Structure 1
Amino acid sequence: MTQRTEIESTLNTLLEVERFRDYGPNGLQVEGKSEVHKIVSGVTASRALIDAAIEAHADAIVVHHGLFWKGHDGRVTGWLKQRLERLLAHQINLFAYHLPLDAHPEFGNNAQFGARLKLVADARFGDQDIGFIGAPAQALTVAALGALLQYRLGRAPTVVEGDGRPIRRVAWCTGGAQGYFEAAIAAGADAYITGEISEPQAHYARETGVAFFACGHHASERFGAPALAAHVAAKFGIEHQFIDIDNPA
């Protein structure tokens, strides 16, 4: 068994949570049992994930998307009440890490995503250096990169092709990071990969020639939380299970 406080301290130190300006609290969001025997990891602290963690007899959950965000008015009603009452009734600790998990050079979403594409970042870009940029082993076509993404993620990305140039520099930032596209262009990318696309990005791709790939918010962020939780579980000799709650977004 491991003390909750040991896990919390390890996670917070590893992810350097204090150096990030974020949209919500990072770290322990809901306090549960003081002793942890099993960790479940997932992308989002949804009711489905919490129910699956209860079924798996977990004492702690590690996620990327937690329960509390800036702008929430503080009332515990509806979906929030339903999630919280399950966590509290079963004394399950909830740990959530947003931007710190995106940025971590080994266990983060971007590092783990890049590893699956055999991309190694040699520079960072964007606000708080969240975005990664690097060179593939050899130049890729737009079609080849799109096929690789579909193979690795199990879904076809939305692609705006740009001018069809060979892709020698790839920038990426998982999740809802379409707003980093201009910074990726300025950093010298031939292609940018993220989770979502909004209206402006198609025009930027066509006008600058830089290809844009939107892979799905959830699909692109399935790798950081389980890598982080597996590392901590191995460190303390406790059980870990990743539970992927499907999401079309």
Structure 2
Amino acid sequence: MSSSHGVTRTLLVDTCNTLLQPTRFKDYGPNGLQVEGKAQVKHLVSGVTASRALIEAAIEVKADAIFVHHGLFWRGQDGSVTGWMKQRLALLLAHDINLLAYHLPLDAHPELGNNAQLGQRLGLVAQGTFGDQDLGLWGERADGQAFASVDDLTHTLTQVLQRSPLVVSGVNRPIRRIAWCTGGAQGFFEAAIAAGADAFITGEISEPQAHLARETGVSFLACGHHATERYGAPAVAAHVAAQLGLTHQFIDIDNPA
């Protein structure tokens, strides 16, 4: 399958597609190979977003392919290759680097995905799914205990993610059933409430969710889009690299959002 010459781009893409099954999802952009680079791949870099900073960092370490959650192309773009898009594409093409991007398939993978990886770090065991395309997870702590309060859960999140979440507290009670979905999943809050959650963890919050938290008693914790989604890409890329005999490194480009 692999050698000192690396593996073919086709094998890398096929392996990622087999693992993540992108055809199962209705998504906001293309999943899989977004930019074609060199035919042979030895060194794989993973990151959250295909930003210019990540591409430049990948060039520095002589990457043959980049694996990300947020790619370059999204539904609703006008298709013009100008400005920032031209700059990113020019770097990839000049250095013959492949760009692979998986959005919802990367969120949803049951062991390596963003939601599964965040749950593992928080010590949560998923017991069910909720929300659009069953992307969200709900469950309880692996040790069977409840968080004593929303403050207790907030402290754990701050320790794990190394940033303080924005919290809209619900009823002051122990937090046993937790629903979570990484990134911009604030629109899943009503489904989380319907699933019986005591608290909902995601990346972002919009105006309506603060009112819903106060009115339903279910706490809402917005922990950062980037902060909650920086675990799936390296988990999948490391798994695929080990399977194919590639070298891999994760490059985390800081993002306050």
Rounded Cα–Cα distance in structure 2 between residues aligned with 1:44 and 1:228? 15
Tell me the distance in 2 between the aligned counterparts of 1:98 and 1:14: 13
Specify every segment of 5 or more residues in structure 1 that has no aligned partner in the other structure, as ranges: none
In 2, the alpha carbon distance for the partners of 1:79 and 1:120 equals 41
Distance 2:243 2:129 in 1: 29
Matched, 1:139 2:183: no
AA matched with 2:72: L
| Alignment check: 8 A CA contact 1:2 1:36 kept | yes
Structure 1 runs of 4+ aligned residues shifted over 3 Å read none
| Percentage of identical aligned residues | 71
| Amino acid in the other structure paired with 1:54 | I
Pick from 197, 202, 211 the counterpart of residue 194 of structure 1.
202
Aligned length: 249
In 2: Cα distance, 1:11 partner to 1:165 partner: 42
Shift of 1:213: 0.3
Secondary structure in 2 matching 1:200: helix
Structural mapping, 1:149-164, within 5 Å: 149-164=157-172
From 88, 96, 115, the equivalent of 1:110 is: 115
CA RMSD of aligned residues (A): 0.5
Deviation, 1:82, is 0.2
Contact 1:43/1:64 (8 A) holds in 2: yes
Partner Cα distance (1:145, 1:126) in 2:
22
Task: Give the corresponding residue for 1:123.
Answer: 128
* Paired position in structure 2 for 1:75: 80
Distance in 1 between residues matched to 2:203 and 2:214, nearest whole Å: 19
Task: Report the equivalent of 1:62.
Answer: 67
Mean CA deviation greater in 159-168 or 58-67:
159-168
Between 1:131-140 and 1:39-48, the stretch displaced more is 131-140
**CA shift for structure 1 position 237:** 1.1
Cα deviation, residue 86, structure 1: 0.2
After superposition, what is the alpha-carbon deviation per residue over 1:31-82, rounded to whole angstroms, capped at 9, x for unaligned? Answer: 0011000000000000000000000100000000000000011110000000
Q: d(CA) in 2 for partners of 1:72 and 1:159? A: 33
- Cα deviation, 1:115-164, whole Å, max 9, x if unaligned, reads 00011111000000000000123111101100000000000000011011
Superposed displacement of residue 13, structure 1: 1.2
Q: Indicate if the aligned counterparts of 1:165 and 1:209 stay in contact, CA closer than 8 A.
A: no
The aligned residue for residue 214 of structure 2 is 206
Note if 1:34 corresponds to 2:39.
yes
Query: Which AA in structure 2 matches 1:61?
Result: I
Match of 1:166, SS state, is coil
More divergent stretch after superposition (176-185 vs 133-142): 133-142
Q: Which ranges of structure 2 fall in alignment gaps of 5 or more residues?
A: 1-5
> Is residue 170 of structure 1 aligned with residue 178 of structure 2?
yes
Q: 1:8 aligns with which of 2, 6, 13?
A: 13
Q: Over residues 193-221 of structure 1, what are the superposed CA-to-partner deviations in whole Å (9 max), with x where a residue is unaligned? A: 00001101110000000000000000000
Contact 1:27–1:95, Cα closer than 8 Å, also in 2: yes
The corresponding residue for 2:253 is 245
CA distance in 2, matches of 1:91, 1:52: 14
Q: What code does the residue aligned with 2:256 have? A: P
* Separation of aligned partners in 1, 2:33 and 2:161: 29
- Equivalent position of 1:17 in the other structure: 22
**Paired residues of 1:108 and 1:228 also in contact (CA < 8 A):** yes
Indicate the residue corresponding to 1:86 in structure 2: 91
- Check whether the contact 1:102–1:109 (CA below 8 A) recurs between aligned residues: yes
Find the counterpart in structure 1 of residue 225 from structure 2: 217
